[in-house]
Amino acid sequence: MAAVVLAPSSFSDGTEAIALVVLLTEFAMMRASLSRSQVRLYSFQSLAVSALAVFVAATQHVGDLYVLAGLSFVLKVVVVPRIVLRLLRDSRVDLATSHRLGVATMVLLAIVVAAFGFFVVGGLPVHSPSLPAPALGLAGAVILVSFLLVILRSDVVSQAVGFFSLENGVSLASLVLAAGLPLIVEVAFLFDLLVAVVVFGVLIRVHHGRSQTLSTDALDRLRG
Partner 1 sequence: MVAVELAPAEIQVLQVLTILVLSPLVSGWIAHLEARLQGRRGPRILQPYYDLAKLFRKETLIPEDAGWVFVAGPMVAFTCYLIVPLLIPVLTTFPLPLFRTGDILGGGFILALAGFSVALAAAETGGPYAQLGSSRAMTFGALIEPSILFVTFTVALVTTTDLPYFEAAAARSSLSQAIRPAHLLIAVAFFLVVLNDTGRIPVESHASTLEFGMIDEARTLEHSGPLFALLKWGSAMKQMILYVLLINVFVAPWGLAGSTASGSVLLAILALVGKAFGVGAVFAVIDNSFSKLRLFKITEFMAAAFLLAILAVLVLYVGGG
Provide φ and ψ at 105, rounded to 5°. Answer: -60, -45
Residue among 65 and 138 whose Cβ is closer to partner 1: 138
Residue among 85 and 107 whose Cβ is closer to partner 1: 107
218 close to 101: Cβ distance less than 8 angstroms: no
The single residue among 74, 111, 178, 199 that binds partner 1, judged by CB under 8 A, is 111
Q: Tell me if 162 contacts partner 1 by CB under 8 A.
A: no
Q: Tell me if 184 contacts partner 1 by CB under 8 A.
A: no
Q: Tell me if 51 contacts partner 1 by CB under 8 A.
A: no
**Minimum separation from the CB atom of position 7 to partner 1 (A):** 4
Site for partner 1 in 65-104 (CB under 8 A): 102-104
Distance CA 179, CA 171 (A): 10
The single residue among 22, 27, 43, 146 that binds partner 1, judged by CB under 8 A, is 27
Site for partner 1 in 113-142 (CB under 8 A): 114-115, 118-119, 122, 132-134, 137-138
Site residues, partner 1 (CB under 8 A): 1-8, 10, 12-13, 16-17, 20, 23-24, 27, 31, 102-104, 107-108, 110-111, 114-115, 118-119, 122, 132-134, 137-138
